[in-house]
Amino acid sequence: MREWLETIGTWTQGWLSADAGLAGLFASALVSATFLPGTSEVVLVGLLTAYPSLAWQALGVATLGNVVGAALSFGMGVAARHGFERFQGLRFQLSEPAMARLSRYGPPALFLSFVPLVGDALVLAAGWLRLPFAPSLAWIAAGKAARYGLVVASVIGLLSWA
């Protein structure tokens, strides 16, 4: 196992500097927070395997990139609702049970935004429902930081164990 991790680290260092890795991690995390497919966890693992000393920086960069992407998705939800109401001349009525639950639980439900696929839709729906932005972003950041924290802790644990 240790040989495999060292091989990945050496291979990654051959084409990836620490600064470029952090920038790539930010971009991957941002894209991963939208409906586009992203691989931020894979990039994070590769970066940590090559540069274990960047664990805290990588955690912050990945979380920040993912939160910025989620804020964009939230904004898309707000814009979609605005466009729907403007061009349809209708007011949106809450009829979907899931939307009603999200509206009832409010921003704390956005802690679950880290869940793959479901989390992106949850953030978009929160924007559609026009949940308060600052508390929503705080809950989103907490969920994203928890997920990346688990990935970082797992990789660092594996590297020290191997």
Q: What is the pLDDT of residues 78-121, one digit of tens each?
A: 998 888 777 776 666 655 776 777 778 889 999 999 888 788 88
Q: How many percent of the chain have pLDDT more than 70?
A: 85
Q: Where are the beta strands (DSSP E) in 24-149?
A: none
What tens digit of pLDDT does each residue of 33-59 get? 887 777 888 889 988 988 889 999 999
Tokens, residue 95:
């009829």
Q: Looking only at Cα atoms, what is the longest distance across the chain?
A: 63
Give the SS3 label for residue 89: coil
Tokens, residue 159:
């590297």
CB 69 within 8 A of CB 34: yes
- Model pLDDT, residue 92: 60
